[in-house]
Amino acid sequence: MREEILRDFYLYAADVLASVKVQSMEGFIQHGKVNCLQHCIGVAIFSLILVRVLNIKCNERSLVRGALLHDYYLYDWHKKEEWHRLHGFSHAKTAHRNAIRDFELNDIEQEIIKKHMWPLNISPPGCREAWVVNLVDTYCSTLETLGRFYGLSFLQEKIMKAGV
């Protein structure tokens, strides 16, 4: 199952990952020592694993693409600047604006990006895919903040050990 998940992840993610702007997310620390790109890849892969393990019926391509772009805000939120002072409440809107500018997104992908910060954003997710990303993003962010999740090497190691 591990090879199948990674194969499908790259199949769904190829066009997004090929973007220079998406690659620039590597230059922004997200939580702890994990950069924004690592975080988004981790959320996307863990979201795909979760829906398969729990047999949740959803649009897997949209799940992966939305997860990859959920934090596509393209700035360093650790730098104290007035315009992003309320980053936790506002970055989903910025990520959505950037994503629709740079990619063709369907309604599910947009919903994932716009609603991934519920309950900080008032409107709850409106589809299964957005609920999954919201849950997995919270889980990954917590691990990263506590220093227990060091990006892709940790993720790949866990996948290998779990036999997923």
- CA-derived radius of gyration, the chain: 15
* Overall average pLDDT of the 16-25 stretch: 92
Task: Find all residues with CB under 8 Å of 91, minimum gap 6, and list them.
Answer: 71, 73, 77, 84, 117
Higher pLDDT pick, 138 / 29: 138
What is the C-alpha separation between 37 and 72, in angstroms, rounded?
A: 9
CB 5, CB 159: distance < 8 Å: yes
Q: In this predicted model, what pLDDT tens digit does every residue of 125-134 receive, in sequence order?
A: 899 999 999 9
Q: What are the domain boundaries of the chain?
A: 2-162
pTM over 0.85? The answer is no
Is pLDDT of 161 > 70? no
pLDDT classification of 76: cutoffs 50, 70, 90: low
CB 132, CB 56: distance < 8 Å: yes
Highest mean pLDDT among 27-41, 66-80, 104-118, 147-161: 104-118
- Which DSSP helix (H) or strand (E) runs through 34? strand 34-35
CB 29, CB 78: distance < 8 Å: yes
- Which fold does the domain 2-162 belong to in CATH? Hypothetical protein af1432 (1.10.3210)
